[in-house]
Amino acid sequence: DIVLTQSPGTLSASPDQSVTLSCRASQTVNANYLAWYQHRPGQSPRLLIYEASTRAIGIPERFSGSGSGTDFTLTISRLEPEDFAMYYCQQYGSSPRTFGQGTKIDVK
Amino acid sequence: EVQLVQSGAEVKKPGESLKISCKASGYIFTDDWIGWVRQMPGRGLEWMGIVYPGDSDTRYGPSFQGQVTISADKSTNTAYLQWTSLKASDTAIYYCARNIGTNFFNAWGQGTRVTVSS
């Protein structure tokens, strides 16, 4: 199974700050089949990025994904108040599909 | 607009059975996979499994194989997640989600909270 390790576990940031979240895979993610989700408290998760760098419909341009192989990043430019949430990566290049353990962005 | 509406919260005792549901609308139900994701208290997301309503083909995550049953009824556009004998460790929020090509989830239900306690 591919293990996804996200870092940091918690990131403290201020509004308007730009942040970068990391997702490292234990093996190569085939075809860069990696997605990112946002999960706000009390809400359902929301797809942000798929295929490592393609924004989902309706996702603001301040969210961008990059990476390949085993190392992937999600960058959020200029944090908005609604961006303080949990973020998960998920690989779908191999079975079983797996999620990372998540990164929490909280207010500094 | 794609909508996934899940059944309400459940409180059950260990050993009891349970079937929760997820009604889909806004897309052709038999064209896409639909799956379930678990979130245990204070924990992250876990990929449980998916079903293709067109032919009921089902895939399970290793931790969930044999522990739950995922199914779909194409006559009612509804997906199901069921247990025959609940354990306290099944206490969690369960999300259904539309899965694109066995890959990523691009639309999610509101979640069903399941509490198993004696």
Q: What is the pLDDT of residues B93-116, one digit of tens each?
A: 999 999 988 899 999 999 999 999
Nearby residues of A81 by Cβ (< 8 Å), 6 or more positions away: A15
pLDDT tens digits, A26-72: 999 999 999 999 999 999 999 999 999 999 999 999 999 999 999 99
From first CA to last CA, the distance across chain B in angstroms is 40
- Residue type at position A94: S
From first CA to last CA, the distance across chain A in angstroms is 35
Who among B45, B47, B108 is closest to A96 (CB)? Answer: B47
- Please work out, in degrees rounded to the nearest 5, the angle formed at the alpha carbon of residue A66 by the alpha carbons of A65 and A72: 100
Nearest CA distance, B17 vs chain A (angstrom): 25
List chain B residues with CB under 8 Å of A53. none
A102 and B44 within 8 Å at the Cβ level: the answer is: yes
List chain B residues with CB under 8 Å of A96. 47, 61-62
A100 touches B at CB < 8 Å = yes
Which tokens sit at B59? 């895939």
